Chain A
Amino acid sequence: MNIHEYQGKAMLREFGVPVLEGVHCTSVEQALAAYDNLNSKVVAVKSQIHAGGRGKGTLYDPQTREEVMQGGVKIAFSRDEVETYSTNILGNALVTIQTGDEGKVVKNLYIESGCEIAHEYYLALLVDRDNKSVLIMASTEGGVDIEHVAEHTPEKIHKVIIDVNAGLLGFQKRDLGLALGLSGISLRSFGKSLAAMYEMFVSQDCAMVEINPLVKSKSDEIIALDAKISFDENAEFRHKNWSQLRDLSEEEDVETRAKETGLSYVKLEGNIGCLVNGAGLAMATMDVIKLYGGEPANFLDVGGGADEEQVKIAFSMIMEDPNVKGILVNIFGGIMRCDIIARGVIAATEALSLEVPLVVRLAGTNVEQGKEILAASELNIHSANDLAEGAQMIVSLIGGDE
């Protein structure tokens, strides 16, 4: 789960990490009031969306698709500029390298005081899968794409791995600060901020905290100039405040609803809907559709214990996507019995008066009963014996429609 920069900065401030004064706004009037109150000659006008690359993004009118402005993060030197930039940003679609061509309509702004920067750094905390522990990464190359740094100058990325029992130790903070070339006041300031960030990471169940850039000011203070924070959704049960931080308009509506019903759904660009049990098999089903020349419209895992009702909900979610021209159901019944799935498929097909071709591949527990139930129905359901056959069938059925 991702949160906005302004929310992340509020959290950083709460834990004692220095951030600049800023105000969250949702209208041009609020932005101007924020400028008047901040008492800073220069302010940053920052689009708030859940995607990176905002500064280098482009704003478009969401209806006409006409370009409005280059850059989703602007430095304003006057009240007029704040007005211009806020007007150009709010309500328009920001397209960045991470948003896709559609972009995301900006509904939130952050107006932040300026600061005199001596140097920009990169800092991130995340869980490292290889070491099975928390990893802190820092680089002197701040404000740029860190993946580029990792590829071209990996020696400029410094890493510290935390022993979960010992926590973040004093020497690790010093070593990392020294590696960044810090000394004196800035080294101490860095150590303090790092300790605060680690405490936040652990206590708030973060999945990732990325500060790019983390800056050294002209007065040698270390300040978080950006904040990209995401949480580990598995820990939601112990963080009641997350429901307030969540911006549902940033998430695919159908993906959110799927999660609420215990399904896992990811929308894709193709036209073959898939309904599968198990995440690995669901991915493999998409892959095989592609292998035989089709394009999957979604990833959908109904889980190990889905019942008739969930199968029905899953079908209706797939059919909400107007691109879907056919559906492939692939179930390996383990705990889930094929006869139950077959009944669920028939109930859903009837209830939704499904008109697109449907291929069902069943295997595992009670497969024979499942196939008999499908065969006995009057509905136009094609039965496949294995995944490859199922994928080939649905691809050719769709091709026949064109």
Chain B
Amino acid sequence: MAIWIEEDAKVLVQGITGKQGHFHAGKMVEYGTNIVGGCTPGKGGQTVELEGKDFPVWDSMTEAITATDADATVIYVPPPFAAEAIMEAAEAFDSVKGEGIVICITEGIPTLDMVKAVAYVNNRPGVRLIGPNCPGIITPGETGGAKIGIMPGHIHAKGRIGIVSKSGTLTYEAVAQTMSINEGQSTCIGIGGDPVNGTGFIECLAAFENDPQTAAIVMIGEIGGNAEQEAAAFAAENVTKPIVGFVAGATAPPGKRMGHAGAIISGGKGTAEEKFEAFKKAGIACANDPSEIGSVLLQALKDAGLR
């Protein structure tokens, strides 16, 4: 078990013929992800070569899912077209099989496009959106596994720590920290740094709590909004597994966007201090520095009798 994505999940790539999509599709195949083809409107019937093997391309997601019974799709479509790609995937999964996971890597999608896309996905309860502007999701296997996104596969190993984060490279940092104490990962999810996105912290925490493979959780937030505070309140009531937390942006000046569209302190709200406080109040073990995540996690595991 893992969450949402099993090791052998069948995965489609939207934008597989584009530069980014093609490059990352190759990396996913190399890692062992069960890529079953891709979708690029206007290029249906063609094939794409990845790691010496040919993969089919469809014109539409409905055709692609019907043909492959895919479990998930990953989107590398440029920002002007990405929201529509999300909606196409959501509708296709909903109508063909009633469920599916849509992972959108694209950075720079207009916020109002995402407002529409998220409402559209939410009208199809069997469909889950992860991202956009995120590294994706990975469920490491004994050998290979399902890497769906842009994260470096080789730093991961199968294990019992669930990781959820708004940031890409900071997630890799957290992965490296679990490895430094000889722990692997059940599933790692980047939920993305945009103000309007799909899956949030709370859904990830709930899924990790219910996942027998996951023993403890690392949650990494950043300034802006109050998703971390709400997640902390949820965790206090509903999560029994140990959680280790970190929030990036303690030194960020108010009113300035720090790289991510959503990473901004507005009206004095959404500060790292506020979020760390919410974490501590909820009994989450906080790391002051990402390099401490490993040692704080080790202590949390020991305290819970897991080491």
- Give chain A's interface residues, CB within 8 Å of chain B: 98, 127, 129-130, 132-134, 147, 150, 163-165, 202, 205, 207, 232, 234-235, 237-238, 264, 266, 268, 276-284, 286-291, 296, 299, 301, 304, 332-335, 363-365, 386-389, 391
Residue B267 at the chain A interface, CB threshold 8 Å: yes
- Residues from chain A with a CB closer than 8 A to the CB of B263 are 279-280, 283
Q: Which 8 A-B pairs have the closest CB atoms?
A: A280-B167, A279-B259, A278-B169, A280-B170, A235-B110, A283-B248, A388-B291, A281-B169
Q: Contacts A127-B112, A127-B195, A335-B152 hold; do A280 and B119 have CB atoms under 8 A apart?
A: no
Residue B41 at the chain A interface, CB threshold 8 Å: no
Contact check, B173 vs A281: say whether CB atoms are below 8 A apart.
yes
**Residue in chain A with minimal CB distance to B246:** A284
Interface of A is mostly: mixed
- Partner among B114, B173, B289 whose Cβ is within 8 Å of the Cβ of A291: B289
Complexed CA–CA distance, A164 and B288 (Å): 40
Contact check, A280 vs B220: say whether CB atoms are below 8 A apart.
yes
**Residue in chain B with minimal CB distance to A265:** B259
- Residues from chain B with a CB closer than 8 A to the CB of A234 are 79, 108-111, 261
- Residues from chain A with a CB closer than 8 A to the CB of B118 are 132
**Residue in chain B with minimal CB distance to A286:** B251
Residue B223 at the chain A interface, CB threshold 8 Å: yes
Contact string against A for B residues 258-299, beta-carbon threshold 8 Å, 1 for contact and 0 otherwise: 111111000110001000000000000000111110000000
Complexed CA–CA distance, A332 and B168 (Å): 10
- Residues from chain A with a CB closer than 8 A to the CB of B98 are none
CB distance from A198 to the nearest CB of B (A): 12
Q: Could you list 9 examples of A-B contacts with CB < 8 Å?
A: A129-B225, A235-B110, A268-B251, A281-B167, A282-B259, A291-B289, A335-B152, A363-B172, A387-B173
**Residue in chain B with minimal CB distance to A145:** B267
Contact check, B259 vs A284: say whether CB atoms are below 8 A apart.
no
Complexed CA–CA distance, A284 and B252 (Å): 10
- Residues from chain B with a CB closer than 8 A to the CB of A132 are 114-115, 118-119, 196
- Residues from chain A with a CB closer than 8 A to the CB of B169 are 276-278, 280-281, 304, 332, 334
Contact check, B108 vs A334: say whether CB atoms are below 8 A apart.
no
- Residues from chain B with a CB closer than 8 A to the CB of A299 are 252, 256, 258-259
CB distance from B139 to the nearest CB of A (A): 17
- Residues from chain B with a CB closer than 8 A to the CB of A282 are 258-259
Residue B155 at the chain A interface, CB threshold 8 Å: yes
**Residue in chain B with minimal CB distance to A388:** B291
Contact check, B112 vs A332: say whether CB atoms are below 8 A apart.
no
- Residues from chain A with a CB closer than 8 A to the CB of B246 are 284
Contact check, B255 vs A235: say whether CB atoms are below 8 A apart.
no
Complexed CA–CA distance, A382 and B252 (Å): 26
Q: Contacts A129-B195, A287-B249, A287-B250 hold; do A388 and B289 have CB atoms under 8 A apart?
A: yes
Complexed CA–CA distance, A388 and B288 (Å): 10
CB contacts under 8 Å to A, within B73-108, are: 79-80, 108
Residue B166 at the chain A interface, CB threshold 8 Å: yes
